[in-house]
Amino acid sequence: MKIKITVALITATILLPSGVIAQTVQRGVVEAVIGSDLNSVLPDDVVYMYPEFQKGTILFSDRSTSEGIVNLYLIGSKVHFVAPGGDTLVMKDQDDARVLSIGKDTYIRYDRSWVRLLAVKGALAIGIRTSVNIEQEQKTGAYGMADATSSISNVSALYDVPGSSAQTVYLKSLRNIPYTVTHDALLYDGTKLYISSKRNFRRLYPDKKDLIDKFIKENKLDLNKAQDALTLFNFLNL
């Protein structure tokens, strides 16, 4: 299904948070004791996108909507919400969702991940996907992104018995847990997402190939960095 992004959903240009501008990968190590909840030992900004749950709206493929107090759980890219009773739950059928609005941010659902839109110009957009990967040995999925669920299993972890509450991960043994937080800049043509690269910018702007090459060279851009990719996108849409 092709999603039409309108100005009502997102402004033309959005500034990246400072931590994303400086780097695209953040690495760290935490130590967990036997029986620890992995969510409790990881830094707060690694577990959730926002420091607080806040009002959000979700648009589904059938054009129905749902509202609630939500946050984006980064390990597996899932929406969690606060139920009337105060419990934190995971939203079901997330792959049937298409657009998520949290505060001033807008996300689209693609390939089992939520991608935050940074800028929209006509039929094209640029976004960023933040993912948390646990441990080093991981299965690689689309765009070179490791699958967080499979990587957690490599840490010798147990999951809660499936129920109504949000899934919690418990570790079986004491060990150091390496993790990475990755910010991938992605180009969007209304149908498909492309990893940010010179080749894909040239693909989406076929009439500006020489201009792309020149601008990247003169400004020494590294398109692996979300800020540099956004700079090129905005330049091409002046």
Is 13 domain-assigned?
no
Percent of the chain topping pLDDT 90: 37
Is 199 domain-assigned?
yes
- Quote the CA–CA distance of 215 and 201 in Å, as a whole number: 12
Is 180 domain-assigned?
yes
Percent of the chain topping pLDDT 70: 66
pLDDT tens for 120-166 read 998 899 999 988 877 643 343 444 443 434 333 333 333 333 444 55
Predicted pLDDT at 223? 92
Which two tokens mark 15? 């500034």
Verdict on whether the full-model pTM lies above 0.75: no
Is 5 domain-assigned?
no
Q: Check if the beta carbon of residue 85 is closer than 8 Å to that of residue 76.
A: no
Number of domains comprising the chain: 1
- Quote the CA–CA distance of 91 and 51 in Å, as a whole number: 19
Is 102 domain-assigned?
yes
Is 10 domain-assigned?
no
Categorize the per-residue pLDDT at 211 as very low, low, confident or very high, splitting at 50, 70 and 90.
Answer: very high
pLDDT tens for 95-129 read 899 999 998 999 999 888 899 999 999 889 999 99
Best mean pLDDT range from 9-18, 38-47, 121-130: 121-130
Is 1 domain-assigned?
no
Is 211 domain-assigned?
yes
Residue 67 structural domain: 18-236
